[in-house]
Amino acid sequence: MTATSTRAKLGVLIASAVLLGSVAAGYVAMAAAETTPTPPPATGDQAVTLTPGPRLLAITDRHVSTVAAADPTGPRTVSGLECLRVYAAAGTGVCLKPETTWSYRMVVLDAALRETRAISVPGLPNRARVSASGRMVSWTTFVGGDSYTSSGFSTRTGILDTSSGATVASLEEFAITKDGRGYRHPDVNYWGVTFTADDNRFYATMSTGGKRYLVRGDVAARTVETVKENVECPSLSPDGTRLAFKEAVDADPAKGWRLSVLDLATMRVTATAETTSVDDQAAWLDGGTLAYTLRQDDGRPDVWSVPADGSGAPKLVIPGAESPSPLT
């Protein structure tokens, strides 16, 4: 099947799903992808490390892997570490991995993939991030059973300071300023954290009242404030001036998402050339290129890239992989 046909059909499928209902389907697809053949790993005594260098980190068949940034479609090195979501920066990694058949852990990794800290987390792993310095780690899972959700799913998003050990079990503990006024509501959910350079402030998605907001947060003050509506899964650019995000078409997740970029100085939004619905938290490969995951009809994931300025065209980067990040 051609990439064009696959991408078009995927857009139709995603457009028919709602935001949280699509999560369960995504994990079914992930399980199906385990049986799909992928490019062979590199041979010899090579080992996967998170040491900064000209390589890209990703998940291959639910295992942490790396490829050369200059040749991402070539041979890759695949580790024995199983993760459903991975991210790394400055030699520190975060892995959301199975603990038992139905439970998961957030694991902090050193550059040699050794576990330095682990926290049991509820629900299905969905998002993970590390600050540029490697100090701060965040994760999001989808959980069921909250009475206020019509879909049966809600989220839990936590933050760990790897330096002090201080842990935020859920951002729902933070005080909210919405549209300039204090706000409280039992249906508040968060996902998709991205950290600023000071290791204290962050951006994330907050959902409440059927709407999704970009929020700016302060870990030390334990506060968040709304910035803009219809901004989901933000990812801060290396220079801290822009946020890549997924924007619900017509503010309706059932219609799918458009991968876009928000200029934080002007609040101007630029849609990328990727027109297929992207249900992912994109990663910046460099100051001008975004990477993200799309799934084929059989559930197999592929990593694609697209310029952040709206120019160019999408490009297949790592076939048979997901959860990309540059090893910076």
171-174 long-range contacts, CB within 8 A, separation 24+: 171/204, 171/217, 171/224, 173/222, 174/217, 174/222, 174/223, 174/224
Sheet strands side by side (includes 283-286): 283-286, 289-295, 301-307, 315-319
Is 322 part of a structural domain of the chain? yes
Question: How far is 31 from 45, CA to CA, in rounded Å?
Answer: 29
pTM summary value: 0.86
Q: Given this model, what pLDDT does residue 145 score?
A: 53
Contact 182, 175 (CB under 8 A): yes
pLDDT tens for each residue of 139-167: 999 997 544 444 446 999 999 999 999 99
CA atoms within 13 A of residue 147's CA, in its CB half-sphere = 1
Q: Given this model, what pLDDT does residue 267 score?
A: 98
Is 25 part of a structural domain of the chain? no
Residue 167 lies in domain: 49-326
Is 3 part of a structural domain of the chain? no
Is 159 part of a structural domain of the chain? yes
Is 37 part of a structural domain of the chain? no
Q: Given this model, what pLDDT does residue 327 score?
A: 97
CA 278-148-143 angle, to 5 degrees, is 50
Q: Given this model, what pLDDT does residue 179 score?
A: 95
The first and second tokens of residue 8, run together, are 């078009």
pLDDT tens for each residue of 14-53: 333 333 344 433 433 433 333 334 444 543 345 899 999 9
Indicate which CATH number applies to the domain containing 174.
2.120.10.30
Is 10 part of a structural domain of the chain? no
H or E, element range at 160: strand 153-161
3-state secondary structure of 148: coil
Is 26 part of a structural domain of the chain? no
Contact 264, 234 (CB under 8 A): no
**Could you read off the pLDDT tens digit of each residue along the chain, which spans 328 residues?**
444 444 444 443 333 333 334 443 343 343 333 333 444 454 334 589 999 999 999 999 999 999 999 999 999 999 999 999 999 999 999 999 999 888 999 999 999 999 999 999 999 999 999 999 999 999 999 997 544 444 446 999 999 999 999 999 999 999 999 999 999 999 999 999 999 999 999 999 999 999 999 999 999 999 999 999 999 999 999 999 999 999 999 999 999 999 999 999 999 999 999 999 999 999 999 999 999 999 999 999 999 999 999 999 999 999 999 999 999 8
Is 9 part of a structural domain of the chain? no
Structural domains of the chain, count:
1
